[in-house]
Amino acid sequence: MRLLVVEDDKDLNRQLCSALEDAGYVVDRAFDGEEGHFLGETEPYDAVILDMGLPQRDGASILNAWREAGRSMPVLILTARDRWSDKVNAFDSGADDYVTKPFHMEEVLARVRALLRRATGHASSDLVCGPLVVDTRNGRVTINGNPVRLTSHEYRLIAYLIHHQGRVISRSEIIEHLYDQDFDRDSNTIEVFVGRLRKKLGMDLIETVRGLGYRLDVPEAS
């Protein structure tokens, strides 16, 4: 899952990014309105955390521009203003949820989790695919109730696949959503991680669709 954090305060931006990275997301960061707007419009993010008061261009106008350009990723608003009028305006611009400053980091993480879940049509934070269960609240992965230890990269991959289970996902889509902008797109890393996952999960959950990509699905009983 690849996220964008647009926050002009350098410290807060750093804290948000490291907390989100610790939770297993890939995070791009922007420090002003123009940069944030550009990244959000050009890169395929799964969710955006957007501060309302930004230099150069304020959050509401960025959000409006994204929505008008047809960008529909869920957007979590960070705002210092606790009046409902500000929130109503933000929602009318296309926000999906808000967190009021000063906030606890867990709150942001919970909101992001819920937004991602809702965006991919999942009601619960436990994502299930046959015997495989991924608990997005704490990053725990189990097969038939037995915990599986995954590295952060492996977790990102399986989390993205299980969010979009049943759909064929191309290699480039995986790269776009699992790595930040600077990732070397020609490397073989994805094949390596898929191989490791198959080994750890021990089953044929991840199917290779030749020429198209990968698909996570409940194996058909044979």
Partner 1 sequence: MGAWFNRASLAQRLTLGALVTSFTVLLAAGFILAQIHRRATERAFDERLSVYLQALSGSLASPIDQDRSDPSDLGDPKFDLPMSGWYWQIEPGPANSGDMIASPSLFGARLARIVDPQLKSDQLGVVQGYMRGPDERRLRAIERTVQTPDHVWHRIRVAGDADEIEQAVAAFRLPLVVTLGLLGTLIAVLTGVQVTLGLKSLRRVQTGLAAIRTGQADQITGSYPPDLAPLVREINLLLESNRDMTERARTHAGNLAHALKTPLSVIQNEVQGVDDDQAASKIREQIAQIQTQLQWHLERARQGAMTSAIGRATDLAQVLGGLERMFAKLWHARAEGDQGLTLQMEIEAGLQFRGEKPDLEDMIGNLMDNAGKWARQEVKVTLRRHASRPLFAEVIIDDDGPGLPEAQRVAALKRGLRLDETRPGSGLGLAIVADLAKLYGGILVLETAPLGGLRARLELPIVEA
Number of residues that bind partner 1 (CB under 8 A): 32
Least Å distance, CB 71 to partner 1, is 17
Does 111 bind partner 1 (CB under 8 A)? Our answer is yes
Other C-beta atoms closer than 10 Å to the C-beta of 166 total 11
C-alpha to C-alpha distance for 164 and 147, rounded to whole angstroms: 22
Is there a contact between 117 and 111 (Cβ–Cβ < 8 Å)?
Answer: no
User: What binding mask, one character per residue, do residues 119-158 give for partner 1 by CB under 8 A, x or -?
Assistant: ----xxx---------------------------------
Interface pick for partner 1 out of 21, 32, 103, 128 (rule CB under 8 A): 103
Q: Could you say whether residue 46 binds partner 1 (CB under 8 A)?
A: no
Q: Taking CB under 8 A as the rule, does residue 96 contact partner 1?
A: yes
Q: Interface with partner 1 by CB under 8 A: which range of 4-12, 26-34, 179-187, 191-199?
A: 4-12
Q: Enumerate binding residues for partner 1 (CB under 8 A).
A: 9, 11-12, 15, 19, 53, 74, 80-85, 87-88, 91-92, 96-98, 101-105, 111, 114-115, 118, 123-125
